[in-house]
Amino acid sequence: MKTKITSGIHLFILLSFLLPWMTISCENKTVASLTGIDFLTGKKIESKDAFDQTETRYIPASFYTIATAGLVVICFFLGFLRTKTALVFVGILDFTTLALHWWFKTDLEQKILAEGNGLFQIKPEMGFWLVTLFLFAGIGWIGFLLMQYIKNKDL
């Protein structure tokens, strides 16, 4: 039962990719709302400029998001194993995934600010924060299970 919770946490992380992750705005007007799936596949954004001309911008697939999704899928399957080695590996992968997730945010903010000359703002949304929350929960849960394993030598 305890190891199924590990996989459940990672399933919730994967489901969070369906929710809005980032909102891009210009002068408090929303230009685009992007989900985790958009960052996995890339997305074309069309917006009107000050002269009512349509501008098309393309946000390419993010290496960080692809790596995050891949590591979460690996952790989902490893979560079913009942060995100490698997738990340690999931803990390390969760920590790595959390770092990649935050690098994604920082990298995206820098690119948006550079391209828009400071006119565009980016705001993390619920899906992004849920991934962060569940990754912290996963790390905490793995720590708890490892402590139980050390005390009882049993999962």
What does residue 26 show for φ and ψ, rounded to 5 degrees? -135, 120
Q: Give the CA count within 13 Å in the CB-facing half-sphere of 153.
A: 0
Domains in the chain: ranges and CATH: 2-152 (1.20.140)
Q: Is the pLDDT assigned to residue 51 strictly greater than 90?
A: no
The owner of tokens 């793995």 is 142
At residue 135, what is the residue type? L
- Higher pLDDT: 135 or 84? It is 135
Q: Is the pLDDT assigned to residue 117 strictly greater than 90?
A: no
Q: Give me the helix-helix angle, 84-115 and 126-152, nearest 10°.
A: 160
Q: What is the distance between the alpha carbons of residues 47 and 134, in angstroms, rounded to a whole number? A: 33
Structure tokens at 29: 């007007």
Give the single-character DSSP code of 39.
Answer: H
Confidence at residue 134, expressed as pLDDT on a 0 to 100 scale: 96
Q: Is the pLDDT assigned to residue 154 strictly greater than 80?
A: no
Nearest in space to 7 (alpha carbons), one of 64, 87, 85: 87
Calculate the average pLDDT of the chain.
87
| Residues sharing a CB contact under 8 Å with residue 154, sequence separation 6 or more, in sequence order | 148
Q: What is the distance between the alpha carbons of residues 91 and 9, in angstroms, rounded to a whole number? A: 12
- Please give the model's pTM, rounded to 2 decimal places: 0.85
Specify the DSSP element, H or E, that contains 15. Answer: helix 2-15
Confidence at residue 1, expressed as pLDDT on a 0 to 100 scale: 52
Q: What is the distance between the alpha carbons of residues 3 and 24, in angstroms, rounded to a whole number? A: 38
Q: Is the pLDDT assigned to residue 74 strictly greater than 90?
A: yes
Give the single-character DSSP code of 17.
Answer: G
Nearest in space to 33 (alpha carbons), one of 124, 149, 118, 139: 124
Confidence at residue 4, expressed as pLDDT on a 0 to 100 scale: 83
